[in-house]
Amino acid sequence: MTRINGVARIEHIIRSEPQRLLVLFDKNKDDVCRVVADVLGQTFSTITSLECASEWTDYAVLGIENSLVQQPEILAQTGRIVINTHCMNGTDYRDERLTEACDYEYLYSSEYPTRRDLARFLGFILGQNKCHDELCKKTRTTMLSTTFPDIRAALPNFDILSVGADSVELRVDLLKEQGVNSGAIPSIKYVGEQVMLLRERTELPLIFTIRCTNENGRFPMDNPDFTYRYLRKAIQWGCEYIDVELWLPEDIRHNIAEMKGRSKIISAWHDFSGNFKWNSNEALEIFRAGAVYGDIVKMITLVDTMEQNYELEFFRSTIQSQYNCPPFSGLNMGPVGQLSRTLNKVFTPITHPLLPMVAAPGQLSAAEINSMLRSMGKVLQSDLYAVGNVHRNGQATFFGRCVNELSLPYQIRSLERSNDSSMEYLMAQENFGGAYINPPLPINSSWHLEASAAAVSIGQIDTVIASMTSAGRTLLGDNATWKGIRATLRTECVPSSYNGRDALLLAHSELHAAATIYALEDLGIGTIYTIGFECTRPTKIKIRQLGGFEDLKRVENPFAIISALPAEKSFVVSPLLKYYSCNNTQNGASTENRVFIDLSNGISGAANSVSTASSLGWMAYGIADVNASTMVETLRLLVGQNLPCDFVRLAAGNSLYH
């Protein structure tokens, strides 16, 4: 582990060695240490003096009350990643002098931090959630530019606002504190709370943006150190992206790049003069200057002629042919520039009719961009098939809703029954634009369809992706279910909490368990113990079949229990949960940081295994949770659009139980 300017960098997650944290907490808020440890799947202890920190090597998480840290400068000597935590519900104990000596600052709004929010924060700062890598793989990415003076106004509708967004921009310079003179710049304390509120409400990566007065914003330019202080805090708050304007002095941009930790830099440059030329040497120089520290380079100008759009497109193609990276986001502002907003593919800013104002002239919503792409013939109208029980259970209707909401160029068609020949017939149609298949179809030789590694290993295809390439249309059979299961497993735990641990998997057959095995393998689980089936497929992990309940002693404390049994058999799970809960308590271990998933459809009532598990302290999820995450993954694969999981829950309703 190396530290640069106080922010820890862990180059690799060493699977067997947990990352070590020192958590500073407010008076009477030591519980935060337990939640941090739970999310990491590790043990914790609290200490009363920093001097003895080195003696507690067995604990991955150490906690100390922040008032006990007399000499902040020795925090760096503990060899741990230091996170100062503050509860915003009560006395505000924030002390900038102390936080300055910490790597990160984590703010939470309720009595206890939620595991979900902490899992996201820790997963990111520890380098386990690599959202930038994932976004770089997408053909098009968008960012929702929020323009609220107080983000609280947006929160109740956030799922609707962010449909189709891949990231969300917090325009810090547009924030306004209540009761303070209206021209005042928001304080760091206020901005910290706004970041916290936004992060607690959305899974999307946050882009922390400060626009100066010259670039359509409100931040002053006479004291760059002032802006620097906010950017430094954004890194401490674990914002995924920090927008750094190119006018800032070189030493400031250099320092930010040095200390950025896991955050990525968007180098930003705007021109409002109306005289900028995309075909000038200056344009190339600006790109090169931005590329020095930028993980993304953004250049935006105000235009009034169509030719300037053509010049930008020529510039874009030149840049793309000459530089593999960083990705380039180039736009023209103003009504004429809207064409460039549809052609740009990297973090295209989007607005929404419910926002108080657009962040820049000419901004479009995600639906408007999709409509324009369709009318320009950039994306072709095609048929998206929902295959299987999808009509009866409402899933076809759900797909229709999503497509309408985003103005996507698809006609939803459904097919009740499917077999190899009907699928082959569909796929041969000229207008075939992809398919969602429920229940999934087994991969077998009569399918003339290339399949992803995941689909081959799992043996099932639930999604057929159609893409247009220069060589024509290509089709790929894929599996979204395993990704939905993995997302559920990661809801309240960082990925490394599964490393080397045991899981128990119940199913009637290997086929029903295959997607779960693939997901657990991806998370680096140690051994999977199976009940009810034998795993015959080759895997990189250990899989052991248990003979019966007497064999349970062989698995001491499984970190995860997953049941893929049918609903009518899921009653066998409750005694098992009780057995392990009892067993754990006897051994002094807690069930609080263990995960349970029931994949059976339609379970309800008193014998519901999910409520049993949750009442016993497990993090428990049912089929609706897994299906919501799977739908999100399916839509990403099929139509390349990102929908918030909560929007999917809302729009999919009861169909999530099938």
Ligand X SMILES: O=C1C[C@@](O)(C(=O)O)C[C@@H](O)[C@@H]1O
Per CB under 6 A, residues contacting ligand X are 145, 169, 171, 209, 268, 298, 300, 331, 333, 349, 359-360, 363
The residues facing 93 across adjacent strands are none
| Cα dihedral sign, 269-274-275-278 | positive
Nearest CA to 647 among 635, 638, 658? 635
Comparing CB distances to ligand X, the nearer of 346 and 632 is 346
Contacts of residue 235, defined as CB under 8 A and 6 or more positions apart, other chains included, come to: 7, 242, 256, 259, 260, 261, 263
Comparing CB distances to ligand X, the nearer of 24 and 312 is 312
Distance (Å, whole) CA 243 – CA 231: 8
Min. distance of Cβ 193 from ligand X in angstroms? 21
Contacts of residue 575, defined as CB under 8 A and 6 or more positions apart, other chains included, come to: none
Comparing CB distances to ligand X, the nearer of 268 and 577 is 268
Min. distance of Cβ 243 from ligand X in angstroms? 6
Comparing CB distances to ligand X, the nearer of 149 and 524 is 149
Q: Which helix (H) or strand (E) holds 3?
A: strand 2-4
Contacts of residue 375, defined as CB under 8 A and 6 or more positions apart, other chains included, come to: none
Min. distance of Cβ 558 from ligand X in angstroms? 47
Other CB atoms within a 10 A radius of the CB of residue 9 amount to 15
Min. distance of Cβ 268 from ligand X in angstroms? 5
| Strand-by-strand arrangement of the 460-469 sheet | 410-415, 382-388, 432-442, 460-469, 472-478
**Single-letter residue type at 387:** V
Helices (H), 508-658: 510-522, 573-586, 609-615, 623-639, 645-652
Min. distance of Cβ 302 from ligand X in angstroms? 9
Residue whose tokens read 């995860």 = 560
Min. distance of Cβ 337 from ligand X in angstroms? 8
**Single-letter residue type at 52:** C
Retrieve residue 561's tokens: 């229990």
184 HSE (CA, 13 A, CB side)? 12
Q: Describe the chain by its helix, strand, coil percentages, rounded to 5.
A: 40, 25, 35
**Single-letter residue type at 165:** A
Q: What is the dihedral angle through the alpha carbons of 109, 114, 116, 121, rounded to the nearest 10 degrees?
A: 60
Min. distance of Cβ 288 from ligand X in angstroms? 19
Min. distance of Cβ 350 from ligand X in angstroms? 8
Other CB atoms within a 10 A radius of the CB of residue 437 amount to 22
Comparing CB distances to ligand X, the nearer of 273 and 421 is 273
Comparing CB distances to ligand X, the nearer of 242 and 560 is 242
Distance (Å, whole) CA 301 – CA 313: 13
Using alpha carbons only, how large is the chain's radius of gyration in Å?
26
Min. distance of Cβ 184 from ligand X in angstroms? 20
Comparing CB distances to ligand X, the nearer of 333 and 367 is 333
**Residue 464 near residue 481 (C-beta atoms within 8 A):** no
Comparing CB distances to ligand X, the nearer of 243 and 462 is 243
Min. distance of Cβ 148 from ligand X in angstroms? 12
Q: By Cβ distance, which residue is nearest to ligand X?
A: 360
82 HSE (CA, 13 A, CB side)? 25
Q: How many residues does the chain have?
A: 658
Comparing CB distances to ligand X, the nearer of 340 and 488 is 340
Min. distance of Cβ 360 from ligand X in angstroms? 3
Nearest CA to 531 among 542, 543, 518? 543
Min. distance of Cβ 367 from ligand X in angstroms? 16
Min. distance of Cβ 349 from ligand X in angstroms? 3
Comparing CB distances to ligand X, the nearer of 16 and 273 is 273
Phi/psi-derived region of residue 497, left when phi > 0, alpha when psi is between -120 and 50, beta in every other case? alpha
Distance (Å, whole) CA 85 – CA 340: 43
Q: What is the dihedral angle through the alpha carbons of 243, 237, 358, 314, rounded to the nearest 10 degrees?
A: 30
Comparing CB distances to ligand X, the nearer of 214 and 429 is 214
